[in-house]
Chain A
């Protein structure tokens, strides 16, 4: 009931309605300028709950998508369980109007999307990071965010470059296990491994 009404409203506005063979739920591709008015009408039509709000980064997607990012609004009708997905495409660097005034639950969802994707929501009362630590730069769920393997300089001067570290573990280059080998970038700072040649000069030599 609410779903048919919402789909009528979407057709009136000229939005594209995507239905898939796999999932019973319909997706409406809404325009970024007018989608908030559409969501307001959906709420009036019975979709009283915003079940979920999340982002997608289509940077490496195999099919062409109109913009890089998309925000997915997951609307739920609490009595019948009807559901409608609304997708809004967002170009990189552009802002999206916040829906916190329609549903209070959007508060944390938008903060999460801002934190993990870097999408800014205009009109959000308190747009801060929510999940990642304060000192983390970047937005981890963007497809161009590197996956782990961060080169790390420890306090005791130990530097680990993951790629060379792994190569050392696999025996490709035994001197590159990261700790005392040649894995550091500035090799002049690296204390040399005790070899037979410099053992005597440093007084560390054992019996030969």
Chain B
């Protein structure tokens, strides 16, 4: 249908580029005389303030970038916008209350934080974790690790301009969060672990639902890999960008997938097994070049390994107790309260005062989705930790940014931030 338009469209007049005006504004007089007085060549170093509210900073990271043209010359990250004083707060709460705070630091891998907090307290209280609770913990932590890596992959590709993978990864992430919600009651901050076990047993139908999810998961990972590994745009944007050498990584204390992408096989689940990881069979994927591409690939391969661990955990789950039977640590079941006076006393003491770990210090390094996560606890024998410190992986990994973010284009800096996978709640605590 060709309907002659009544008025022929006038081509929109584009305003002429006012180069002279722009040059006059930005170039000081003495500078323009140095370049022959043309006043057109723009050679100033420009400071650009990225964030704190910017989608590509994954939270509230502020980066001040010095640029010459589009080339990044200097990067200074400013952090602390999300500082909540968790350590001070936790020093003034009982050990049991602190399980609420632990997952709120790294909100993407919250159960990793709960585990990192539970392990040193268990060392101090000498709690014994039953076998079933041990495998439940590993199953939950690994599921959560997959969901964390899925967020990394989706938002990381989004930063590179690829919108589709975001929907793919968040589809699977929703499935995992539904599983976690079945168990812990919440999507992100479960507060599910306890000293000496877990809070409650797995609900009916969880194992079957988990198995269904895991069965189809490897095909989904293939799908993600097809989306980016052969994509020429993606390769162009990530290969040899933001190369982190081994020396630099060791000097700057980088851990986790960022370190393994540089070719150093340090995984605390393998080197210093904790919480029963020594019973599991899995590989540690390692990259070769330490560029952004390797950091993407290592995490995607880690998802497969985590799914492998989850499948093993499901086969290892046998009926049994889920908490340390020691009534000085774990709450008595509700049914006992009606018949046993002793249970009422224990319940009252645990709720009002809490348990008293032995005097001493404890540190257990664990492998979170971002790197070495450890909780350093100094106990003075009271019911509240005297000093509690979280060695948060994102805080340390983010230091790398001012070294490897420079030298490239500004768009590469965004790639580097995405590939380091910082969680600002974890950085600022």
The chain A residues found within 8 Å of chain B, CB to CB, are 20-23, 25, 27, 48-52, 54, 56-57, 60-63, 72, 74, 76, 78-81, 83, 85, 103-105, 107-109, 112, 116, 129-133, 140-141, 145, 147
Contact = CB atoms under 8 A, between A and B. Distances in A.
Nearest to A61: B380
Interface in B405-429: 428-429
A57 B85 contact: no
B389 interface: yes
Contacts of A63: 359, 380
Interface residues of B, number: 46
Please give me the 10 A-B residue pairs with the lowest Cβ-Cβ distance, nearest first.
A81-B271, A105-B253, A52-B391, A131-B80, A81-B272, A131-B83, A104-B251, A54-B389, A22-B123, A23-B362
10 contacts: A22-B358, A23-B123, A57-B387, A79-B266, A108-B399, A116-B87, A130-B79, A131-B79, A140-B85, A145-B88
Q: Which of A50, A51, A103, A112 has the most CB of B within 10 A?
A: A51
A133 B80 CA distance: 7
B356 to A, nearest CB: 12
B365 interface: yes
B87 A78 contact: no
B79 A72 contact: no
Contact of A54 (B358, B362, B376): B376
Given A52-B374, A131-B83, A141-B88, A62 B380 contact: yes
A25 B274 CA distance: 14
Nearest to B428: A131
Contacts of A22: 123-124, 126, 358, 360-362
B227 interface: no
B360 A20 contact: yes
A149 to B, nearest CB: 11
Contact of B252 (A23, A57, A105): A105
A57 B388 CA distance: 11
Interface string B353-392: 0000011111111000000101010101110001101010
Contact of B360 (A23, A81, A83): A23
B363 A49 contact: no
Given A80-B271, A104-B252, A56 B92 contact: no
Nearest to A145: B88
A80 B272 CA distance: 8
Contact of B250 (A48, A129, A145, A147): A48
Contacts of A83: 272, 363, 365
Nearest to A133: B80
A108 B124 contact: no
A68 B250 CA distance: 32
A105 B387 contact: no
Given A22-B124, A23-B362, A56 B381 contact: no
Nearest to B250: A48
Interface in B100-119: none
Contacts of A50: 253
Contact of A105 (B120, B126, B396): B396
Interface of B: 79-80, 83, 85, 87-88, 92, 120, 123-124, 126, 248, 250-253, 255, 264, 266, 268, 271-272, 358-365, 372, 374, 376, 378, 380-382, 386-387, 389, 391, 395-396, 399, 428-429
A81 B268 contact: yes
A104 B88 CA distance: 27
Contacts of B396: 105, 108-109
Contacts of B374: 51-52, 74
Nearest to A103: B251
B266 A20 contact: no
A196 to B, nearest CB: 44
Contacts of B378: 56
Contacts of B251: 103-105
A56 B91 CA distance: 12
Contacts of A52: 374, 376, 389, 391
Contacts of A62: 359, 380-382
Contacts of A104: 248, 251-253, 399
A130 B358 CA distance: 33
Nearest to B429: A131
B386 A27 contact: no
Nearest to A113: B389
Contacts of A147: 88, 92
A64 to B, nearest CB: 12
A104 B266 CA distance: 19
A57 B386 CA distance: 9
A131 B389 CA distance: 14
A26 to B, nearest CB: 11
Given A22-B123, A51-B253, A104-B251, A85 B360 contact: no
B79 A81 contact: no
A31 to B, nearest CB: 19
Contacts of A116: 87
Nearest to B255: A51
A132 B363 CA distance: 25
A107 to B, nearest CB: 7
Contact of B395 (A25, A76, A79, A108): A108
Nearest to A23: B362
Given A52-B376, A76-B365, A78-B264, 10 more contacts: A22-B361, A23-B361, A27-B361, A52-B391, A57-B387, A61-B380, A103-B252, A104-B252, A116-B87, A141-B88
Q: Which of B80, B88, B268, B389 has the most CB of A within 10 A?
A: B389
B219 to A, nearest CB: 34
Contacts of A129: 80
A132 B372 contact: no
Q: Which of B85, B123, B264 has the most CB of A within 10 A?
A: B85
B361 A20 contact: yes
